[in-house]
Amino acid sequence: MEIIIMKKFLTIGEPLSVFSSEDLNASLSETKHYTRFLAGAELNVAVGVSRLGLPTEYVTAVGKDPFGTSIMQDIKDAKIGTDFIDVMEQYPTGFYFKQRVDHGDPEIFYYRKGSAASHYDVNNLNKIDLSEIEHIHTSGIMAGISEEGRITTETMLEKAIKNNIRTTFDPNIRVQLWSSEEYMKKILNQLAAKANIILPGTNEGKILVGSSDPETIADFYLNQSEITDTVIVKIGPDGALIKNKTGLDQIISGFKVDQVIDTVGAGDGFAVGLISGLMDGLTYEDAVKRGCAIGALAVQSPGDNDGYPTRDQLSKFMERG
């Protein structure tokens, strides 16, 4: 009998503990009650892809502290590989506080400067057997937390190019992490040029390319690099535009939800759907539709990744339309 070995998904980023407010519409300075969740944009994607049953590896560093210990256990519980996670005694694990709101985006306050992940040693990437990897996901957050993070993200993308591994890049703008907006724009667009698939939102496009028009955003990234072959522009509840160099140019409709509890993690949920769909062999159209579905599920739960579904939950949600 032939043994089929499933290739893995890999992502690299900074894991965080998030203390999410339980006091609706209270400012962070007024909030008294919090619940701790696992967070970090790239880790959110790893959690979601693993929850759908695909082999997943996560590259990062945590501190040897209570937050690092709890994050490591949460990662193991999520059935994500920990072989490429370093534990650093000399640096702390990052965390942040998040407001709870019933409309709009929540207020967020970070404690991540000088974290273990921001000191990740890029030489450790040489220890990873990329022959086992089918897809690598990166974002602008790891690049924004430190110069080491920028170099690590760039090196990961370059290794993927050399090994013919499909990549996604989500700009995931966090203005607080960058020394200036101009430097942020320069670095994020340089990194995007090294990825096969770019996943900007319309608000990010306004900052990075000077337009919130999905077609304009897509054309910018398709034209700036021979490596980039597909751009998927997220347009919120309305869905997403797919445009590629082979002629595909289509808007995929989103899913309407009755109540939005927390928008944080929706974009990462979209990435979960797209990446898992491509790894499952779906067309871009069907993979993006799955991304829209998981994004819609994500906004209905308080944690950054608590709303990400299992296969069964995803199927039932998509059947309801």
In the prediction, which pLDDT does 151 show? 97
User: Domain spanning 8-13+44-86+122-320: which superfamily?
Assistant: Ribokinase (3.40.1190.20)
In the prediction, which pLDDT does 1 show? 44
Q: What is the mean pLDDT of residues 143-159?
A: 97
In the prediction, which pLDDT does 264 show? 64
pLDDT band at 237, cuts 50/70/90?
confident
Q: What is the mean pLDDT of residues 95-115?
A: 88
Nearest to 7 by CA among 131, 106, 112: 131
The pLDDT mean for the chain works out to: 92
Domains of the chain, residue spans: 8-13+44-86+122-320
Beta-bridged to residue 110, according to DSSP, are 96
Residue type, 198: I
Full DSSP string of 72-136:
HHHHHHTT-B-TTEEEESSSPPPEEEE---SSSPPPEEEE-TT-TGGG--GGGGGGS-GGGEEEE
Q: What is the mean pLDDT of residues 141-163?
A: 97
pLDDT > 60? residue 121: yes
d(CA 31, CA 138): 33
Catalytic residue among 74, 170, 262, 268: 268
Q: Would you call 286 a catalytic residue per the annotation?
A: no
- The whole model's pTM is what? 0.92
pLDDT band at 80, cuts 50/70/90?
very high
Percent of the chain with pLDDT over 90: 82
Residue type, 155: T
pLDDT > 70? residue 305: yes
